[in-house]
Amino acid sequence: MQVATIQTEGLTYRYGIGTPFEKTAVDHVDLEIEAGSFVGIIGHTGSGKSTLIQHLNGLLRPTEGKVLLDGVDIWADKSKMRQMRFRVGLVFQYPEYQIFEETVAKDIAFGPRNMGLAEEEVQARVRETAAIVGLSEEILKQSPFLLSGGQKRRVAIAGVMAMRPEVLILDEPTAGLDPRGREEILQEIQAYRNQTGATILLVSHSMEDVARHAKKILVMNAGKVFCYDTVANVFRRSQELQAIGLAVPQITRVCDALRARGVPLTDDIFTVEQAKQQLLEWYHRTRGGQGTC
């Protein structure tokens, strides 16, 4: 699957133009999302995250500036907007509320059928994406309204994946799920990326989730790009992040405290697994390689 590059040039969006409630939600954003990347998007409430991503597949039209898909302005030819939305898939927060078909299989098939695909191809995509998100053949025959919250979430995400978008954008896909359900959903998103090479944009309030899965992080603040860099480079700016109402992962703060107390840890620990490995190495060094932990 060919993967697209998304760019914005001076992207600006204002609500309520000409009224007392006029507000600039996205303010002259210049951005390039590299093809095949996994980008975490973070920012406090009202920072412009959700408004930004709704521009990337044409749900909102810029007040100023452009959104480019493989170098082409997505609003240059309105007749091609429908096809563009098949290439850039958007999963809203709590997508299970958009489920409406009588069976799981029919719900997942809705997007591919709208693409005009042959029924054989539609069914192949239903089975393929159901497998990616962990839905069994038996579940495909059931009403989606009888499933658990986590299963409904998987059905909704599978419905977008079944269109095989080159860019998959997810707005808080793990909101409201328990830790196990959150990690399963994120692993399934990663599996889709591994299988298709798609570009993933993940909006999340969880610094831990972003640290584990993203390769780069886009930080939004007051409608502008605060920074767009690797996970390590972004989270090293912990004091700046805190100044705009964000925080580094909890394990990073723990390791910062340990480092202040003389434990020789590096400043690029953002997951529990990284902390565990370095603490074990330090423990064995201090014990002269003796003992276990």
Question: So where are the chain's domains?
Answer: 6-236, 249-288
pLDDT exceeding 90 applies to what percent of the chain? 80
73 exposed, middle or buried (CB, 10 Å; 0-12, 13-18, 19+)? middle
Those residues with Cβ within 8 angstroms of residue 273's Cβ, 6 or more apart along the chain or in another chain: none
Give start and end residues of each alpha helix (H) in 90-230: 104-114, 119-132, 137-140, 149-161, 179-196, 207-213
**Quick one: pLDDT at residue 261?**
92
pLDDT digits (tens, 9 = 90+) for 37-59: 999 999 998 999 999 999 999 99
**Quick one: pLDDT at residue 50?**
94
* φ/ψ (deg, to 5) at 250: -55, -40
SS3 assignment, position 201: strand
* CB 163, CB 122: distance < 8 Å: no
77 exposed, middle or buried (CB, 10 Å; 0-12, 13-18, 19+)? exposed
**Alpha-carbon distance 220 to 61, whole Å?**
19
Q: Which fold has domain 6-236?
A: Rossmann fold (3.40.50)
Write down the mean pLDDT value for the chain.
92
**Alpha-carbon distance 216 to 125, whole Å?**
29
**Quick one: pLDDT at residue 10?**
97
Which stretch, 24-28, 261-265, 285-289, has highest mean pLDDT? Answer: 24-28
**Quick one: pLDDT at residue 4?**
76
Mean pLDDT of 255-276: 90
Q: Which residue type is seen at 215?
A: K
**Quick one: pLDDT at residue 289?**
54
Question: In the predicted model, is pLDDT for residue 24 greater than 60?
Answer: yes
**Quick one: pLDDT at residue 2?**
65
How many beta carbons lie within 10 A of that of residue 134, not counting itself? Answer: 16
**Quick one: pLDDT at residue 239?**
86
Question: In the predicted model, is pLDDT for residue 293 greater than 50?
Answer: no
pLDDT digits (tens, 9 = 90+) for 66-88: 999 999 999 999 999 999 999 99
Largest separation between any pair of C-alpha atoms in the chain: 72
C-alpha closest to that of 26 among 69, 73, 75, 64 = 64
C-alpha closest to that of 5 among 100, 88, 93 = 88
C-alpha closest to that of 62 among 70, 71, 52 = 52
Tokens 């889709």 found at: 192
* φ/ψ (deg, to 5) at 169: -110, 130
The Cα angle at residue 8 between residues 5 and 13, in degrees rounded to 5: 140
Residue 55's alpha-carbon distances to 8, 63, 132, in angstroms, are: 9, 11, 27
pLDDT digits (tens, 9 = 90+) for 145-165: 999 988 999 999 999 999 999
**Alpha-carbon distance 174 to 153, whole Å?**
9
pLDDT exceeding 70 applies to what percent of the chain? 97
**Alpha-carbon distance 193 to 285, whole Å?**
38
